[in-house]
Each structure stands twice: as structure tokens, then as C-alpha cells.
Structure 1
């Protein structure tokens, strides 16, 4: 069977850890858990794949790395990043959890590029033993070459069986018009945006209203960028279906300490000591951005 072109830039060691090579850079996968609310508990439901570039053994910020690439290089590196995440997820993560993978819509300018990207992805998923139904394609905030190209790209993903997520809702281009055009399965609310809204009762009421509108359309809502414990409780109060952020778990390089989970029906769905599994509800230590007097 044919193999993904991106695999030519991938090394897989004896521990089944896949790393990428691009010029002087070494590329690695990191994964961050996404949790869902389930009867007062947080349950690990998915992982997001995140690229971590290194140069001469030193970590480099992803924005600085991508800024150093030409437009042509960016397309290939985006493909390489997805390849790494899929291979590492297949080898090291719980297959029952969904995998979120980022797509930059600005690099998909025509049908041939889209077709080649999806071909590479299907080949890699076959190699990793991952089904399209378990992958969420997360359309990031970068501006597409055209609305028609963006909609065609999302339609092609959906036709291949992938679920669609729109990232960074509430920031720049991610507005209701875009949601209506793309009809995603999942919307991720921008962390900085929701942090501001969480500071006031009116802001939380607005978040709850918007979550309700999306829920009525059958869209799952993820609050990302949750960095403080009190925000988890506010997210639940606003009706968010899922949450992601440093207050719950930080990204970890593959293989992570998020061991393959085998849920105990008599206990919590996750037991890893590095994951903050906590009961949600009761009194909050903080309310709408202001410390509650004790």
C-alpha cells in the first residue's frame, strides 16, 4: 500500500515515539486532554495534538517556528505535524478518546492541495489504526484564501467522515456567519474572550445564552484556555459541554503521563495523578473574577 509522503520526514524509535525532521528543526507531538462534564465529574474525553519544535535541543515557540517558514514550507510542515500527532496518538493514547487535530485553512487554496492532504492523512491513519470517526478536524483562526475554498475544504473533510470543529470562537473571523456557513459539530470558545466574560454576571449570562443557542443546533461547545479552578465551575454553570486548559492538565510530549485509561465502572473515569480530576459544584473559591471574602 502507498505511504504518506510526510513519513519520509518521520523517525519512529524503538519506543514507537514518532519525531519529525525539518531542516535544522526536530518536531515532536504534545497532547493536551479535553474533559467533559459527566454528572458532576470531569471525565477525560479527548486529546488535542500540538506541535513542539526544537532546535539544537532547545524548545522553540510554535508561533516563532511557523513565522520562520515560507508559505510552501508551511503546507508541508502542517502535513508533517498531523502525521506525527496521528502516529503518536495511535501508539500512546487511549483509542476510546477523540483526537483533535489543527488545520490552518490559509494553506488550502485549491482542490488538488485538499485532495493530497486528505490522501496523506488517510494513509497515516491506516498506519496508526485510527478511524476518521475518532478524529476532530479543528479549523484554526487563520484567514482562508476565500470563503468558497474554506467551505469546500470543510465539505471534503466531512465527506471523509471527520468531525469538524471551529476554533477560537469570539476572536476575529470566528463569528456566527462563519458558524452558519461551516456547520461544525464542535465550537471552541476562545480562552481570552471567555476569561473576560467570566469576570461579570452579565458576561456569564451571555456565555450561557450562546451555549444554549449552539446546543439547540446540535453543536458541542468547548471552553478552552481554562487556567484557574474557579473557571471550571463557571463553565459548568454556563452550560459548557467540555473544558480544556492548564487548570485541568498541561500539554505533555508523547509519550505522555496520561496513561492509556481503562475506566473503572466503580470509580472515576481517569485516575492519573497528573490530571486534576475533581468534582464540580458547591461553593466556588472565586466568583466572576473577584475573590470571595471568607
Structure 2
């Protein structure tokens, strides 16, 4: 039986790293910003794993691709544990923490209950209130719909919020929202960008955001990389935004507590910071003319 604690190295600065085979694993966190009265403020952070081999960074896709299916449950537990321990050491105490869950590894309620019991012990050690945790249910297939529903109910029973990841308005996505009734929906970055490139697409995007808000579901636009996208995200009514235009993921050695101590820029200031960046030609990005203000 694999003990997650045996794969964790704790450091004097309060952070932790993981070891799995030839890989060293570190936590990175990317801020998620909320729109509030014309300003952007950090509302949450998403935990992302960063593998290293012989000191050189590796793609997470490469790392997970080399892991046997039989180890996936244990690796998932290890990466979540790392994120939570490092969140307790590095993140502002008021920020929410997004962590990923692959529903395909929770094949029955017993496995889910044990994983969540272990997670609560880690939260207690890290000094994190369970209500700060947002569990991102990724798009991997679960053993059955009943298993998925039971897993989501177990998350809620432990006091966690639930987010659906990579929403793209396919029929399966819409059904998933109706059945899981998440607290938060994270919109797929490529799908958002496509819709933003036309007036009709943006109108559909805005209507979907409003529909979710009417149901008490908050929305996150992922992959926001340019100023015009940030402006349209704000105009659409999206609750939160995440992307390189605002902040890149940083390793947990960084003290993110500064986000809780300094005033955040307004949405206009954030857009101004990227306004000088090279922009694609209007014919390549119709949304630039549609969504981006001309600088005075």
C-alpha cells in the first residue's frame, strides 16, 4: 500500500516537494481574479503540478503519460497533498484553492471516502478551512454516471465546493452541468476565444454566463492572454478570469501572500498594461475591433 507521506520532502521554508520515481514534483499556483466594482482582485489560486527530472523541467503531460494507470490514484493524492501543504505555507488565508480531481480513478464510494478523509487530515495540518477548497472535476470519464454523482456528493458532504472544468457547451457539457449542479463552471479557453471573435458568438457567451448566474453558478474564463479578451470577459458578466495576461503560474517558493496585502489594479489598468503588446491583424482576430477600445 502506497503511503503518500513517504513521497513528500518538507523544507525549512515551510514548502514541500514530492518524489515519484525519477521525478521531483513541485506545486505551482496561478491566481484567479474576480471582477468587483471595476477592479480586479485575487479571489483564488489553482494548484498545478510541475515535474522535474535531473533538475530539468518536464511537461506535466509527459510525466502523467509515463505513470501506469494503477498508480494514478496515488499520484493524484500526492499532487493534491503537495498543493494543500504549499497553499498553507504560501497563499493568503482568505483565498480559495482550486485542486483537480480525476473522476475516473474513484471507481467506488469507498475509494472516494478514504481519499477525502486523507485530504481533510492534510487540510487540518495545513491550517486550511475546507470551505476554501474548490474541487475541479476534470473531463475524464468516470466508471459510471452513478459513481460520478456519488463522488460529487461525497465532495459536498466534506464541505468542499465543486467546479466543472473545461466547459465548452457540447451536449455532454450541458448535461453535466444540469446533473452535477456545480458551484462554479470554468469555461474552456479555446471555446471562449472562438465565441469572442464575433458579435453573435459574444452574445451567446454572455447569455450563457447570465444563465449560470441566474442558477447561482459562478463562472471562470480560463486562458485569458490578451487585453481585448479581458475586456470582453468583463463585459460578458463573467465572475472570474484566469490567464497569462494577469499572472502566470509560479512555483510555491514564491510568497503569494502579497496578493492579500496590496491593492490590485483595476480592469482598465490591467488592460492598459497589455495594450502595447503586438496584436494580431483585425482579419485574423475579428474580436479585436469588436471588443477592444482604441487607446486615446
TM-score, with length taken from structure 1: 0.90
Q: Confirm or deny: 8 A CA contact 1:139 1:166 kept in the other structure.
A: yes
Q: Which residue of 2 aligns with 1:220?
A: 218
Shift of residue 188, structure 1, vs aligned partner: 0.3
Match of 1:83 among 81, 84, 91: 81
Distance 1:48 1:174 in 2: 25
Match of 1:210 among 190, 208, 221: 208
Q: Confirm or deny: 8 A CA contact 1:42 1:280 kept in the other structure.
A: no
Q: Confirm or deny: 8 A CA contact 2:227 2:271 kept in the other structure.
A: no
Shift of residue 259, structure 1, vs aligned partner: 3.3
**Are the structure 2 counterparts of residues 17 and 229 from structure 1 closer, same or farther at C-alpha, using a change threshold of 3 Å?**
same
| SS across alignment from 1:125 | helix
Q: Which residue of 2 aligns with 1:255?
A: 253
Match of 2:11 among 10, 13, 27: 13
Q: Confirm or deny: 8 A CA contact 1:92 1:260 kept in the other structure.
A: no
Shift of residue 15, structure 1, vs aligned partner: 0.6
Match of 2:267 among 279, 284, 293: 279
1:56-99 deviations in whole A, cap 9, x for unaligned?
A: 11111111111111111111000000000000000111011000
Shift of residue 5, structure 1, vs aligned partner: 3.4
1:162-196 deviations in whole A, cap 9, x for unaligned?
A: 00000000076851110011110000000011011
Q: Which residue of 1 aligns with 2:67?
A: 69
Unaligned runs of 5+ in 2: 280-284
1:218-246 deviations in whole A, cap 9, x for unaligned?
A: 00000011011111110011110100001
Q: Confirm or deny: 8 A CA contact 1:143 1:173 kept in the other structure.
A: no
**Are the structure 2 counterparts of residues 112 and 173 from structure 1 closer, same or farther at C-alpha, using a change threshold of 3 Å?**
farther
Match of 1:232 among 217, 225, 230: 230
Q: CA RMSD in A?
A: 2.2
- Corresponding pairs, count: 281
Q: Which residue of 2 aligns with 1:273?
A: none
Distance 1:158 1:5 in 2: 25
Unaligned runs of 5+ in 1: 271-276
Matched, 1:48 2:46: yes
Matched, 1:134 2:132: yes
Q: Which residue of 2 aligns with 1:274?
A: none
Distance 1:224 1:49 in 2: 14
Shift of residue 279, structure 1, vs aligned partner: 3.0
Q: Confirm or deny: 8 A CA contact 1:233 1:281 kept in the other structure.
A: no
Distance 1:237 1:261 in 2: 24
Distance 1:212 1:281 in 2: 25
